[in-house]
Structures are given as C-alpha cells and as structure tokens.
A and B are shown apart, each in its own frame.
Chain A
Amino acid sequence: MTKARRIYEKIVTGILFSSSTITSLTVILIIVFLFREGIGLFNSTPTEKNYVIAVSRQNTIPIITSNELADIFNQDITNWKQLGGRNDSIVRLTLNDLSGIFTEEELGPDLEFFPQKLNEFVKTTPGVILYLSKEYLPKNFAGRIIPVKKITLLDFIFGKHWYPTSSPIPQFGIWPMIVGTLMVTLGAILFALPFGMATAIFMSEIAGNRLRNIMKPVVELLAGIPSVVYGFFGLVVLVPLIQSLFGLDVGETVLAGSIVLGIMALPTIVTVAEDALHATPQSLREASLALGASELQTLVRVVIPYSKSGISTAVILGTGRAIGETMAVLMVTGNSTHVNYSFLQPTRTIPATIAAELGDTSFGGVHYNALFALAIVLFLFTIIINLSVEVIKNRNQRVNQRG
C-alpha cells in the first residue's frame, strides 16, 4: 500500500517536473530563436545576396553606406562630390536600364558582348555606379567593387526610412514604427485612463454590491471579444467618423488606433484598478470618515493613494495589452511607414508591421532578419513594461506589510 503510494507520488512529481522543464525550455528557445534571427540583421549588408555595387577605378570613395546608396538611386545625390569624392556626376547602371545605355545589337542576342561593353563603359565613365549580379561581372573587371557598410544599430533604430523591398537597396529604419507604436499606445492610455478610472471608481465606491456584481463580468467580457471585431468596429464606425469630424482625406489615423486600443485596454484597466480600490481596508475608510472627511475626500486622500500602485499596475498592464496588439491597429491606422508625429495622420505600429510583412519575406533574407530585429524591439518594450509592474508590486508589498 505505502509502496504503491510512494511510486504514485514519484510519478506525479516526475510529470510536474518534466512539464515545467519543457515549458521553461520552450520559452527560452523562443527567445534564443528570436535573438538569433534578429541579430543576423547587423551582420548583413542590405544588398541582395550575390549582388554587388561597383564604381570606376578613378572613384576615391572607399566604402558606402546604404543610406547613401538609397540617396544615389533616388537621385537625391547626383554628384560624387556630395559624398566627399571627385567632382563627377553620377551615372547609375542596373540590369534594368541596360537598354537605356546599350542597344540590343551592341550586347548581342545572348548578352555575350555585355562584359566587354560594360568594361568599356566603366573605363569611360568615371562617375558610374553599378548594381549587378555577380555572375554578370566581367572576368577582368575594369571597375572596383565597393563594399557596402553593414547596418548599424543606430541606423536601424533611428533610420527614418523603411523600404524593405526597394531595389537596388532596401532601407531598414524603424523610427517611424517606434514613433507609431509609442504614439498609438500613449493615445490609448490617455483615452483609457480617465474612462477606466471613472468606471473603476464608480464600481468600487458608488455602485452597490449588486450593481458591481453585474458590471464586473460585463467589463471582463469585453476583454474576451476577438481583436478583429474591435478592428472592424474601428474601421466601420470610428474611421469615417474621424475623417468627417476633422475633415481629413483619410480617417485611418493614429487617433483611430488609439481609441480602438484604448477600448481594448479598458477591461484590464477597469478590473485591475477596481480590485485595487476595493482592496483598501475598510478600517482606513472608517478612520477617514470618523475624522469628518466626506466620501469624496476619503476617496481622494485615502483610497486612491492607498491603491496608487494597483492603479499604476492597471495602467501598465493596459499599456502592455495595447503595445502588442496587432490586428485591430493594422486595420485602422492606415498602414503608413512614413515618420509621423501627428495624431491625425496614418502610421503603422511594430506588431502590425511584422504581421503585414512576414509573409512576403524569404527565410534568412535581410528583410526577414529585420522583422525579427523589430520583434526584439517589441519584446524589449514589453519586458520593460512587465518589469515595471514587478517593481511597483514589490515596492507596494514592502510599504503595506510594515506595521
């Protein structure tokens, strides 16, 4: 009897141990995977695989950055002088515009004369810049392959241009998405905090127990509605409303995202804040009332200060809910990757970007790595949020456990 029991307990312990190990390992593996894929971005040059950038031998520029390349191919930079090189105006040559420079006869039916023609062209055009697949590079190439600088962390975070698929040179600046995410989240909190707090205060302090017991499950139900539904509501109701209210060309704006996310964060904020307010000991309320304080004074001077950390937790958890939300924001914020500091302009958040683009990338490509690096940034945001919840909780426990 006792032996069977001991074996039984061993088995249960073993199952509990192994499942917790598996869970922890999974989490760790996901994080490792995330970082491995993301960090790859900083080891790669942004040019496509097997493609090179080349210039003429006369060119004195030693190394070139992807931003400079983008400017060159956008024709924002037209002379090497602008990059500190010789005074030669830039002549761009990619496989697509061969026909603009060479005639078909010159190249031959199977492009067999291309290497020779190219070498001639490079020799006679000191300002040339080439973007070519390595296989088209002539054996005795008359120009010089110029190295492209790797993407740096600063370029990545503060870069203002996100053109992940542009050719010849993609750009991976996530500043627009960081700004978008922070603005949408901030807006969501600014929207949700007053409404959430008012509701929490009403439920905890004014509504009787009966009403409270009805309201609480209803608010919690809001949290269970799938986010697409919120997005749909935003798209059909909010976006047109904002468009006509502010007389905008498009209603898909930061504001729309903020309101939709604010509504989504409300249940979290209301429930957590209400719990905190409700947990204020009756003895403290009585002490305040017995000194002649009104209900409102008691609320402002005793109940809210006592639940301060619970309220902050509510706000931070609400922020956490908002910052990672994908679908609904993607639907109502207009999908624009331009840097934008206005609440009435379109934007795109980090999670929305990942969701929108991950399907179009090739495994292991630069774009793919960039999306993972973006995910790391989001991950760091949420870690900071969760850590602040912990810090506040611990501090609160210490304060309220004394005495």
Chain B
Amino acid sequence: MTHAEVKNINVWYDTIHALKDVSLKFEPNTVTALIGPSGCGKSTFLRMFNRMNDLIPSFRMDGTVMVNDQDVYSKEIRIDEIRKNVGMVFQKPNPFPKSIFENVAYGLRVNGSNNKAFIEERVERSLRQSALWDEVKDVLKKSALELSGGQQQRLCIARALAVEPKLILMDEPAASLDPISTARIEDLIFELKKTYTIILVTHNLQQAGRISDLTAFFYMGELIEYNMTKKIFLNPDNIQTQNYITGRFG
C-alpha cells in the first residue's frame, strides 16, 4: 500500500507564508490533480514529498510529511533514500546532456547499480512504460538533447520510472508541449496510475478533468477543497472553488 500524506504542514520562505496548515492524504493508484491560481503554493506543496525545497536557503517548515509510512523530514532518514522512492517530472523537459540510454540509467547508476544486464533491462522497461521505446530503440546512444520536446519529456518520465518509485510528482509536465505531445503524456499518465500514485500540478483544468481521479484546490497557501474530480468540477462545496472552476478569477 502506498501512502502519501501530509499533516498540518506550514511552509515559509523568509516571511512569505507559502502553505498554511495543509493536511491531505493520497490514495494509492490514483492521479490527484493540484489546481489553483499562480503562486498559491502548488509547486511548494509538491516539492515537500522529495524535500526539493531544502535546496532553497530561506525555506522553513513544520508539520509531518509521510511517504510509504516514513516520516520524510525525520532527522534519522537520509534525503537520497527518500528521493529514490519519489520520482519527479518537471515543467520543462530537463534531460541531462548525455545519451538517451545514460539518461534513463542515471538513477540506477547513482544508486550503485553497475550490473550491465540489469541496467539494460531496466532502461528498456522504463522506455516501454513511457511509450518512447519504439521511437528510440535504435538510437539509444544519441544525445537526449536531439529529441523533440515531447520525446524529451517522456524520456524524463522514463528516467523517473527507472528507479521504481512508488510516488510520482509531476509539475505541469505538459505545459511546454504541443497538443499532440500533451495528449500522449496524458495517455501515459492514465496508463501509469495502474502501478504508481501520481500527484499532478496543472493549470489546464480540462486536463485535470480528463485524467485525475481526485482534485485538490489551493488558494493563497490554503487547501480550500479536496474531493473526487467529478464532484469538484460539477458541484464543488466551496464558493471559491466554484469561482475558480468557472473562470471567475485566477
């Protein structure tokens, strides 16, 4: 059972109170969409699960974040251990300037694998899972930078899958892509939720409606409403959610 859960978290950047007492529990094998106007704290929230916010000097937090029943911010745990269990896909495709193969193998290598057969097997499986295998299987040695933007993003997904995380974080993964590439990514997310728990930040409400099971609406650092996607889009409890969904602000 995969658990991802936050309890009463508060986040500050210096004096900016970016997340205000947010508690939320994610269900295994679901896609949860995080929506809300720019600056409401979606990315900050997402980056709590793999402690990426730790890179920001002014970052402070309190509260509890649990992934796989482990307290992510406990003093005993090693950050790289947590990050291995949580995959992340960023808004802009960010492949390493290495070969396609080495991009996917990267996570395995830094985690100490050097069994060639094992790595090859994993790379192929990850590329198949991210629906890129057929396009790149003959050019695995080519630089990843020579792929198109959409291919690069699927490569980044494959790269995240290769270390077999339980939880996958996606921060507007299709924001920089054309409609066709976006559709492929959406299909892919739909496919991946069979195996993974996915948290997806998106500004595209139709996208949230199409692929997510649950939706959380954030506003000014607060979690306003969290419910089944259908419910949020058709009949939200909160008037602010209603206003956002219908485009009256944001």
Q: Is the CB of B83 within 8 A of A292?
A: yes
A70 to chain B, nearest CB (A): 57
- From the candidates B88, B110, B159, name the one contacting A297 in the complex (CB within 8 A): B110
B146 to chain A, nearest CB (A): 6
Given contacts A287-B96, A288-B96, contact A293 B90 (CB under 8 A): no
Q: Please, what's the 1-or-0 string for A307-333, where 1 marks a CB less than 8 Å from any CB in chain B?
A: 000000000000000000000000000
A281 to chain B, nearest CB (A): 7
Binds B, one of A174-182, A195-203, A298-306: A298-306
Q: Is the CB of A290 within 8 A of B88?
A: yes
Q: Which secondary structure dominates chain A's binding surface? A: helix
A205 to chain B, nearest CB (A): 12
* Interface residue A403 (Cβ < 8 Å from any Cβ of B): yes
CB contacts (< 8 Å) of A289 on chain B: these are 52, 55, 83
* Interface residue B156 (Cβ < 8 Å from any Cβ of A): yes
Interface band, chain B: 35 or more
A299 to chain B, nearest CB (A): 12
* Interface residue A208 (Cβ < 8 Å from any Cβ of B): yes
Q: Please, what's the 1-or-0 string for B117-147, where 1 marks a CB less than 8 Å from any CB in chain A?
A: 0000000000000000000000000011111
- From the candidates B55, B107, B147, name the one contacting A286 in the complex (CB within 8 A): B55
Interface residues of B in 202-223 (CB under 8 A from A): none
Interface band, chain A: 20 to 34
- From the candidates B50, B83, B97, name the one contacting A400 in the complex (CB within 8 A): B97
* Interface residue A291 (Cβ < 8 Å from any Cβ of B): yes
Interface residues of A in 263-284 (CB under 8 A from B): 281, 283-284
* Interface residue A245 (Cβ < 8 Å from any Cβ of B): no
Given contacts A292-B81, A402-B146, contact A287 B156 (CB under 8 A): yes
Q: Is the CB of A301 within 8 A of B94?
A: no
Q: Please, what's the 1-or-0 string for A84-126, where 1 marks a CB less than 8 Å from any CB in chain B?
A: 0000000000000000000000000000000000000000000
Q: Please, what's the 1-or-0 string for B90-110, where 1 marks a CB less than 8 Å from any CB in chain A?
A: 101111111000000011011
CB contacts (< 8 Å) of B247 on chain A: these are none
Binding site for A on B (CB under 8 A): 50, 52, 55, 57, 80-81, 83-84, 86-88, 90, 92-98, 106-107, 109-111, 143-147, 149, 152, 156, 159-160, 163
Binding site for B on A (CB under 8 A): 208, 281, 283-294, 297, 301-302, 305-306, 399-400, 402-403
Q: Could you list 10 A-B pairs, sorted by A, with CB under 8 Å?
A: A285-B55, A286-B94, A288-B110, A289-B83, A291-B159, A292-B84, A292-B107, A293-B110, A305-B98, A400-B145
